[in-house]
Amino acid sequence: MYTITFYSFKGGVGRTMALANVAAILTGMGRRVLVVDFDLEAPGLPSYEPFRGLECKNGVVDFVHEYLRTNISPNVGAFVAEASIGGKPIWIMPAGSHTSTGYSTDLSTIDWVSLYRDRSGFLLMEDLKQQWAAFEGHGFDYVLIDSRTGHTDVGGICTRQLPDAVVAMFVPTRQNLEGLAPIVRAIKAESAPVRKRIITLHYCPSNVPDIDDENDILRGLLQEAKTTLDYISPAATINHYSHLEILEQKIFAVAHAKSRLGKQYSQLTKALIAENLRDRDGALITLERLPAQFDAARREGDTKVVDRLNSKATVIRKNFSDDGEIAFSLARAADKMIRPEEEIASLTVAIDQGFETNWAQLRRAFVYSSLGRDKETEADLKAVILSKDVKRLEATPALDFLRTLLENDPEQLEKTLFELARAPDLDDDLRGRILQNAIRSRKCAEDVLEIVTQYRRSDEDAGSRLFNVHVCALIALGRFAKAIDILGGRTNVLKAGDVAQIFNLAIAEWGLHGEAPRDLFNEVKLFLESRATHDANARQCFALTLMVCGEREAALSELREARQAIAPLVSSFSCWQYLERYEEEFEQDLDDMEIVFRSDQPIRLPIFS
């Protein structure tokens, strides 16, 4: 149970309306909500739409009177009424039957000072909280208290004993701020030994004029509020809103959820539940905000804020120890705070609970790698690649990282890639990607052909990854006639309009006949000129195409662009060798191409020999 008091020093700020709307939003989220009307002199909650017409004969005043008469804490069930909003239950503990003639007399006879001093009033209120928490065997998720205004004994009960949090609402005028400031100080000064927890304060400027602030008057008053009340930013700002339904005291956040006012109440609700670390949604909101808050605190060197963020993360981890989504969010926070062991632990929970398994495993691989735990890294990367539901945006970085991890052991890399490529349930596109990366030598190309022959279907789409790998492996081995046969000849290739296949056909015909087919390279040139090409392979292919078409300077320029596009740590496919090449190898191919381009000798690719 989480108790929130809505307090204002003066009336007319929209406090009760804000409480009613927050209660409705929480109820709509499936929370069990009790609203308590502690504004005993001027009760307002029963006049709001969900509670209107309820038989509310007994309430807070009657509860206290019953205790004073019997010296026994009454059963709270007799003082709580159930209503409904949007088909979901919501409960109210009213002030009492405030429209009856005896209500004022009953209220005036309660001496709150004597109740606390002589009749154990503190324990009575503690028992009341316990009864709320156990109500009907379920208790309430949220208790929202509407506190009376001003400096009162009842106000102290509502703002310091009962709540976990207080919403301090105020119109930004000096009168409101001067009256609210001592209340805020008293809440902050509440002794820890009694409460054993901090009361969270939320500041909410309300009924704020929505007018042109030409002379910065409003801006100055809002800034003065921050200084006077000592806060950084408000939980929400509620603007004055002109709408006739407000006069009817309807729940605006339900009837007009997308209106500006409805959104402001939603923002306030979100801010409130974010501080309730027992609320799953609140925990997720807190974790969503934590990385940015940590960054801000780190830049300012604010260790108190960092400690508070760490404490929140610890509480959330304890409250939701087997929740995969929360564990995943905790891992993101740990990553930002550079806590690798905590990140691994949280990612492991997410994986075990089946939440974002592939991405969590990929992230864990990166963290393992940062700690030098290469075996665990490799195991996680393989698991991601072999996952039945792996997405391209998960498999591609996993494959790239695996290649980087094993780049210093070429034999192990080749062995691993071929093991993965032979997995029977692998997606064809992913199998093609793995085999593309495996064409690192002529010997590897032979092994690639064997696997492609085993897994490629006869009706495989000519543009598929496996199809492309099949053609590239044949060209790498100098089997140009077979490559042309697989491609289906000029008519089919040109009709399909796939620039990669046109380029491959041009290379295969060149290798077979000993002369570059300029007509095909002109087709490639037209395609590449009409689209942006950024990766090293595309730039290299364009450079070769331009050179064949007689545009030497443009070809040399494109080679320079290809050098700039080389990706560090991962390999690229080289059209000069028709092999997968790492950074230095690819640069060497570009060097060799430049030497040939600058000479007057005929171009002859290494694969033609």
Q: What is the CATH number of the domain that holds 30?
A: 3.40.50.300
Which of 273, 292, 307 terminates a domain? The answer is 273
Q: Domain for residue 480, yes or no?
A: no
Do 255 and 294 have their domain in common?
no
Do 179 and 314 have their domain in common?
no
Do 250 and 295 have their domain in common?
no
Q: Domain for residue 422, yes or no?
A: no
- Predicted confidence at residue 238, as pLDDT, reads 86
Q: Domain for residue 240, yes or no?
A: yes
Burial class of residue 142 in the structure, from the number of CB atoms within 10 Å of its CB (0-12 exposed, 13-18 middle, 19+ buried): buried
Q: How confident is the model at residue 588 (pLDDT cuts 50, 70, 90)?
A: very high
Q: Per mean pLDDT, which range of 282-291, 343-352, 569-578 is the poorest? A: 569-578
Q: Per mean pLDDT, which range of 157-166, 249-258, 356-365, 496-505 is the poorest? A: 249-258
Q: Per mean pLDDT, which range of 95-104, 126-135, 476-485 is the poorest? A: 95-104
Do 169 and 99 have their domain in common?
yes
Taking a C-beta distance cutoff of 8 angstroms, is the pair 277, 317 a contact?
A: no
Q: Domain for residue 409, yes or no?
A: no
Do 283 and 258 have their domain in common?
no
pLDDT tens-digit map of 367-409 = 999 999 999 999 999 999 999 999 989 999 999 899 889 988 8
Do 297 and 156 have their domain in common?
no
- Predicted confidence at residue 463, as pLDDT, reads 67
Do 177 and 310 have their domain in common?
no
Q: Domain for residue 432, yes or no?
A: no
Q: Domain for residue 497, yes or no?
A: no
Q: Give yes or no for residue 54 having a pLDDT over 60.
A: yes
Q: What residue spans of 439-582 are helical by DSSP H?
A: 442-455, 465-476, 480-487, 489-496, 499-513, 518-529, 536-548, 552-565
pLDDT tens-digit map of 495-548 = 988 899 999 999 999 999 999 999 999 999 988 877 776 789 999 999 999 999
Which of 226, 257, 273 terminates a domain? The answer is 273
Q: Give yes or no for residue 103 having a pLDDT over 90.
A: no
Question: What is the token pair recorded at 386?
Answer: 């072999």
Starting at the edge strand found earlier in the chain, the sheet holding 81-85 runs 81-85, 88-93, 33-38, 142-147, 2-8, 165-170, 200-205
Beta bridge partners, 90, equal 83
Q: Give yes or no for residue 277 having a pLDDT over 90.
A: yes
Taking a C-beta distance cutoff of 8 angstroms, is the pair 5, 201 a contact?
A: no
Please give the residue range of the domain that contains residue 568. Answer: 516-609
Q: Domain for residue 456, yes or no?
A: no
Do 45 and 128 have their domain in common?
yes
For residues 605 and 97, give the distance between their C-alpha atoms in angstroms, rounded to a whole number.
96
Q: Domain for residue 147, yes or no?
A: yes
Do 164 and 34 have their domain in common?
yes
- Predicted confidence at residue 191, as pLDDT, reads 47
Which of 340, 355, 370 terminates a domain? The answer is 355
**Between 501 and 86, residue with greater pLDDT:** 501
Do 148 and 222 have their domain in common?
yes
Per-state percent for the chain, helix, strand, coil, to nearest 5: 60, 10, 30
**Total number of domains in the chain:** 3
Do 527 and 604 have their domain in common?
yes
Do 293 and 144 have their domain in common?
no
